[in-house]
A = this chain, B = another copy of it.
Amino acid sequence: MTYTIAINVMPLKDLLDPQGKAVLGGLHNLGLNNVQDVRIGKRITMLVEADNEGAALQAGEEAAKKLLANQVMEQFEVSILQ
Contact = CB atoms under 8 A, between A and B. Distances in A.
A16 interface: no
Nearest to A11: B45
26 contacts: A8-B43, A26-B67, A27-B63, A27-B66, A30-B67, A32-B59, A32-B62, A34-B48, A34-B50, A34-B59, A35-B46, A35-B48, A35-B49, A35-B59, A35-B63, A36-B46, A37-B47, A38-B45, A38-B46, A39-B44, A40-B43, A40-B44, A41-B42, A41-B43, A42-B43, A43-B43
Interface in A26-81: 26-27, 30, 32, 34-50, 59, 62-63, 66-68
B10 A63 contact: no
